[in-house]
A and B are shown apart, each in its own frame.
Chain A
C-alpha cells in the first residue's frame, strides 16, 4: 500500500532538513527523500562544514607558528594532514548522526533513493539497487540544491583537475595550486592551502575576487591575501587546461601555459532539477535550470514548493533554511512574514573573513539611493591587539535622514561572528543611533561595531 504524507521533502541539505523538522513540529506527517547515503546535503558533506573544519586547522597552524610573538618557545611546528582530514571527517560524521537522531525524534520517515515525481501527489523513489518505492504526498518541497558547475572544455577528473567535491579529500597539500574562479569557494580554498605552504594562484574573470562583495572590503582582503603569498590575477580569462601526467598546464588569455600540481575549478554551482520528473507535474524550469516561485516559495504547480539553491535567490545554506521554514509554515496554514533578502547575510571564511549584509556601495550608486559611509578600523582597538587580529575594518552604509542601515561590510579575522548583530539590527530596523547607544562589553572586538556607529553620528571616540 502507498504510504501517504502531508509533505514530502526531496533533498536533506540545510533547506530540506530544516523544512522537514519544522513541518513535523507543526504536526505534518513528513517524508524526507535523500539520494545520497548521508543526510545533510552539500553543506554538511562537501560544503560549509568540512571546509570550515579545514580552515580552522589552517588558523590553528598559523597561530602556533606565531606563538613566539606571544612569548612562547615552540620550535618547529609540523602538521599531519591525515589527522587534520580525520578530524574534519569526524566532525562531519557527528553532525550526520545528529541529523539521523533529529529525524527519528521528529518521526520523519527518511527514504534513501532518487525521488522523481510521477504526478502532482506521487513520488517514486529509486534506491541504489534500482528498486522503486512510491509514496503519496499532499505537498512536496523541492530542496535538491545544486552541484558544482564545470567548464565543458575542461572537465574535472579524478587526478589533478579538481572541484570542491574532490579537493576536500585530497591526500596531501599540493606544492602549487591554481584556483580557477575567485568566488567564495575559490577564495576560501586559496586561503586554506596557502596557509599550509602551498603556492596558490587565483585566476578570476571579473575585475575583483568575490565580485558581489563591496569593493572596499575585497580590496583589503586582496591586499592581505597577497601579503600571505597568494597570487591574484583578476580580469583574467582561462582558455585551456591540459592534464600532463603529474601536473596540469593552465593557459590564460594572452599568456604562455603555466604548470601547476593541481587545479581547483570553482566557477560556481548549478541547480539540480533535471531528473526530478518536473514534466510530470507541469513544472518548467527557467534558463539554467532554476525553478520559479512566488514569495511564499510556491511553484506554478500549487501543491509543490521549492527552496534553496534551485531558486535564483542567494545560494547560501542559511538562506535555504529560512526559505524552507517559510514554505512549510505556509503549507501548514500559517502566515509568516515574507523574507526580506536585504537582511540576508553573506559570510566568507578566508583569512581574514568578509561578512556583509544589505547593499554594497556600488549597488546603492546604481539604485541612486542617497547614503553616507561610516568606517572604523580594528587596529586601534585593545582587544584586536590582544587577539593579534588588527587587520580589517567595519563599514556601515546608512541613509542620512533617519540613519537607517542600508549595508554593512566587515573584513576581519572574526567578521562572520560579528555580522549577527547587524542581522538582528536590520531585521528590527535599528538605525545607527541605537547601535551606538547600545553598551558593548569592553574589551571586545564587538566594541568596534559601536565605534563605527559613533563615527556615523557624531564621531568615533577612540580615533
Chain B
C-alpha cells in the first residue's frame, strides 16, 4: 500500500477531438475502482462514450464537474492505492472554463452565448475560476467580433487564450461570429422572446419550462439546420418486392443465429444491397466542395441508430466488398456498441452514404435530411404485405417503399431514379451468399 497518486487524464479520443464534456462520474470520490472499470461518461463533438479507469485504487479527488468541458490530456482525477492519500486542491494544467459552468454563475440558460456585448477595454473578464488569461490582441479581436472569451479554451501558458485559440474557436463555430450579435442558438433557430414573471417563464402567454439541450441534441440541431441550408434536398421513392429476401432470410436465419449468435435482419440484407447499388452509381458517394466534386473509392456506410438521448450514425468503413455476413457482423457490433455508448469517435466519422430505417416503427416513406458532407441518404419504409398485379393475376407480396434523398447540386432526378432502379433489381433478384 502506498500513498502514491496516479493521474487520470482526459484521454485523447481521436484525431481532431481536443476536448470533451464530462457527462457523469460513474464513481464517487472515495469509491474503489478497478483498472479498466468504467469511471466516467463523456460527450465529445463526435460521440458520447465511457472512459475506463487507467489504474486500480480509490478515487481520491476529481477536478472536473459534470457539464465541465475539459481539454484532452488535462488531469481530471487522482487515484491511489491508499484511501487516505492526499491530493492537491488544484492541478497544474487548469481546466479551461466550460461554457456551462461560466453561465451558471449568471442566468440559467442553455449555454453561454458565443457573443456578448463588447467588454470594457480594461475590465478583467471573469470565469468561475477567476480572471481569464488573454492578451491585448485577443481582447481586441473579441471586442471586434463580439466574442465571449469565457467560451474559448486557452491553450497557452497556464491556459492563456492566444490568437490561435481564437482562430480555432471561430473556425469551429463556422465563422458565424462574423455577424455581430449572432449566437450559437441562432444557428439552430432564432432566439425566442420570453417573459419572466414571478419566477416563471412564459412564451406568448404560455408557461414554459426551460431545459438545456444535451450536447448531442445541440450538435444534431446545428447539423440539421446546416445540412438543409447547404444541400437542395430531393427525394424519390420506389416500391420494391421483398419476397425474395424474405424467403432467403427465412431459409438462413436459424443457421445464422446458431453460428453468429445474433439475428440476421432485413436491415443487413438491405444494407448489403445498398452497397452493391452504390458501386453502380458512385455519384451518390461523393462530396461537394464549392464547385468541385470529391470522388471517393471507399464506400463507408453510415447506419442511423436511435438512442434515448438522440441519434448517432456509426459507420461501416470500406464496405465495398464485404459479404452479407461480414457486413451483418459489423453492423450488429456497431449498433450494439452505439446503444451501450461504447463507440469510439472515429467510428462515427468518415461516412460516405447513410441509411435510415424509420420503417421499423411503421413509417411508409419519409424525407430524411442528408448527413453532411455526404450527398445522399436512403430511407427504408415498413415491410407490408399487399395485393399486387403480376401477369394479370393478383398476388400477395411483401412490399417496401425505399426512397433516396439526394443533393441536387450533384445528383439529378435521373441519377437518383437510376440508383433506386438498380437497387430494386438487386433486391428483387437477391441471392444470399453468406
Q: Which residues does A use to contact B, with CB under 8 Å? A: 334-337, 401-402, 404, 428-431, 433-434
A428 to B137, CA, bound (A): 9
A434 to B134, CA, bound (A): 14
Contact B140 A431 (CB under 8 A): yes
Contact B137 A404 (CB under 8 A): yes
Contact of A429 among B73, B92, B138 (CB under 8 A): B138
Q: Which residues of B sit under 8 angstroms from A431, Cβ to Cβ?
A: 136-137, 140
Per-residue CB contact flags for chain B residues 402-426 toward chain A (1 = under 8 Å, else 0) read 0000000000000000000000000
Contact of B136 among A334, A335, A336, A429 (CB under 8 A): A429
A401 to B143, CA, bound (A): 12
Contact B156 A430 (CB under 8 A): no
Contact B136 A428 (CB under 8 A): yes
Does B155 belong to the interface (CB within 8 Å)?
yes
A179 to B155, CA, bound (A): 46
**Nearest A residue to B158 by beta-carbon distance?**
A337
Contact of A402 among B92, B137, B157 (CB under 8 A): B137
A428 to B74, CA, bound (A): 23
Q: Which residues of A sit under 8 angstroms from B135, Cβ to Cβ?
A: 428-430
**Nearest B residue to A434 by beta-carbon distance?**
B136
Per-residue CB contact flags for chain B residues 314-339 toward chain A (1 = under 8 Å, else 0) read 00000000000000000000000000
Does B162 belong to the interface (CB within 8 Å)?
yes
| B59-108 CB contacts (< 8 Å) to partner A | 73-74, 92-93
Contact A402 B144 (CB under 8 A): yes
Known: A402-B137, A430-B135, A431-B140. 7 other contacts (CB 8 A): A335-B74, A401-B144, A402-B144, A429-B136, A429-B137, A429-B138, A430-B136
Q: Which residues of B sit under 8 angstroms from A434, Cβ to Cβ?
A: 136
Contact A433 B136 (CB under 8 A): yes
Contact of B92 among A334, A337, A401, A404 (CB under 8 A): A334
Contact B137 A335 (CB under 8 A): no
Within the complex, what minimum Cβ distance (angstroms) separates A401 from chain B?
Answer: 8
Per-residue CB contact flags for chain B residues 136-166 toward chain A (1 = under 8 Å, else 0) read 1110110010000000000111000011000
Contact A402 B140 (CB under 8 A): yes
Q: Which residues of A sit under 8 angstroms from B155, Cβ to Cβ?
A: 337
Given contacts A337-B157, A402-B137, A404-B137, contact A429 B162 (CB under 8 A): yes
List, sorted by A's number, 11 A–B pairs whose CB atoms are closer than 8 Å.
Answer: A334-B92, A335-B73, A336-B157, A401-B144, A404-B137, A404-B163, A428-B135, A429-B163, A430-B135, A430-B137, A433-B136
Contact A402 B93 (CB under 8 A): no
A69 to B138, CA, bound (A): 49
A323 to B255, CA, bound (A): 63
**Nearest A residue to B143 by beta-carbon distance?**
A402
Listed residue (A334, A335, A336, A430) with the most chain B CB atoms within 10 angstroms of its CB:
A335
Q: Which residues of B sit under 8 angstroms from A335, Cβ to Cβ?
A: 73-74, 93
Q: Which residues of B sit under 8 angstroms from A404, Cβ to Cβ?
A: 137, 163
Q: Which residues of B sit under 8 angstroms from A334, Cβ to Cβ?
A: 92
Within the complex, what minimum Cβ distance (angstroms) separates A359 from chain B?
Answer: 15
Q: Which residues of A sit under 8 angstroms from B137, Cβ to Cβ?
A: 402, 404, 429-431
A433 to B122, CA, bound (A): 13
Listed residue (A402, A430, A433) with the most chain B CB atoms within 10 angstroms of its CB:
A402
Q: Which residues of A sit under 8 angstroms from B140, Cβ to Cβ?
A: 402, 431
A402 to B143, CA, bound (A): 11
Listed residue (B137, B157, B163) with the most chain A CB atoms within 10 angstroms of its CB:
B137
